[in-house]
Structure 1
Amino acid sequence: MAASERTKMAAGGWYTCLDPELEALRVMARDAVFEHNSLPPRQRGDIGPALKSLFGAVGEGARIEAPFHCAYGFNLFLGDGVFLNAGCTILDTAAVRIGKGTLLGPNVQIYCAEHHQEAAGRQVGLEIAKPVKIGDDAWIGGSAVILGGVSIGEGAIVGAGAVVTRDVAANTTVVGNPAGPVRRG
């Protein structure tokens, strides 16, 4: 029996995102995101109930401001005290693990999906999912973009607007496109 597209996605292989099972999972996520984004803040709490139950894990005191968007939700793992500011988008086709005390500024984008390089592959929805890991106590500045397959170390700082295409060492500050370390004088 052939592996399902969800199984291929979870294993980090090529899969088609046009699969009906994956679409049904994205619909569940869109419903949970809609609830989170449309509930009054006092009713929503730190994270809307449907969204919180969809996530892989949510640490104590984790908070997500609205609006927020994710692709699936079940691949998101938030540590204690994680804060995602308004406008964050996480396309979690693979696991996204955000360590305790980490802060994401407004409009931060995390993209785990990488589409096929050939047009024929893109036309049939071929993509591959690459995980993202952000260590404890990191700070991701507003409008930063983090691509799949990247690990950001504990205490690292990603400057506003940076595009992170490769790993960032612990306690390092990176800026720019592509993001690179800030040189100390």
Structure 2
Amino acid sequence: MSDHEEVLARIRQGAFYTESEASFQNGQRRADLVFEYNRTPPGEAGRRRELLEAILGSVGARTVLLPPFHAGFGSNVHIGDDFFGNVNLTFVDDVEIRIGHGVMIAPSVTLTTTGHPIHPGLREDFRRFSEPIVIEDKVWIGSNVVVLPGVRIGYGAVIGAGSVVSRDIPAMTVAVGVPCRVARPITDEDLKARTFPAA
């Protein structure tokens, strides 16, 4: 096994690795294209689409991603159809972020696949670990939410504004808080309401 393969194996296992060890992946970063996307005039929808297809690992139909957005790589992000991402969406995509169909994300949300050791003695050379994030279909994520490494958010879930999501969220639930916890299920009663009844 080559050194690169050994590092990739550790990354896939969620084990620690350093910036120097992972530097061979830097060619997959799309920083210049992200910069160009964020400076593209609103009327140039075709150019924005062309850039998104070059930046992201995959992108579905009818995708709206309002600039500015930020990505460590971009190439590790996969977005389904009918996606809406509001301004200041940040992808810390050292490993894959998979977003399903019909997902809506409000302003200033961070999806981070990467964390760092607690003990400062382990943080030299930006040592870190990475675990993929999965956001299933029809999820709505409120403003200023942070989704942490390894989290899966289930179908149709709603994440309340300002939440820090550190564990999986079941399908068809409303979840809020720091740390984010399930407040209640989503039911047919919600078809009648504009706002959420008290939990």
* TM-score normalised according to structure 1 size: 0.89
Aligned pairs for 1:80-99 (under 5 A) are 80-99=81-100
Q: Which runs of 5+ in 1 are unaligned?
A: none
Partners of 2:72 and 2:93 within 8 A in 1: yes
- Answering whether residue 168 of structure 2 is matched by residue 163 of structure 1, we say no
Task: After TM superposition, give the deviation of residue 78 of structure 1 in Å.
Answer: 0.3
- C-alpha separation in 2, matches of 1:100 and 1:106: 19
Partners of 2:40 and 2:48 within 8 A in 1: no
2:129 counterpart SS class: strand
- The amino acid of 1:103's aligned partner reads M
Which digits, 9 at most, give the CA deviation of each residue in 1:109-143, with x for residues without a partner?
11101112232321122111111101100100011
Identity %: 34
2:81 counterpart SS class: coil
Equivalence for 1:174: 175
2:61 counterpart SS class: coil
Structure (1 or 2) with the greater helix fraction = 2
Deviates more, 1:133-142 or 1:11-20: 11-20
* TM-score normalised according to structure 2 size: 0.84
Task: After TM superposition, give the deviation of residue 32 of structure 1 in Å.
Answer: 1.2
Root-mean-square deviation (Å): 2.0
Q: 2:25 aligns with which of 22, 25, 38?
A: 22
Shift of the 48–60 alpha-carbon distance from structure 1 to 2, 3 Å rule, reads closer
1:60 counterpart SS class: coil
Equivalence for 2:147: 146
- C-alpha separation in 2, matches of 1:86 and 1:46: 18
Task: After TM superposition, give the deviation of residue 8 of structure 1 in Å.
Answer: 4.0
- The amino acid of 2:60's aligned partner reads G
Equivalence for 2:188: none
Partners of 1:12 and 1:128 within 8 A in 2: yes
- The amino acid of 2:156's aligned partner reads G
Task: After TM superposition, give the deviation of residue 22 of structure 1 in Å.
Answer: 3.4
Q: Which runs of 5+ in 2 are unaligned?
A: 185-197
Q: Which has the larger Rg?
A: 2
Number of residue equivalences: 183
Which digits, 9 at most, give the CA deviation of each residue in 1:30-84, with x for residues without a partner?
1111011001012244845334213111011111100100111111110001111
- C-alpha separation in 1, matches of 2:87 and 2:35: 14
- The amino acid of 2:125's aligned partner reads V
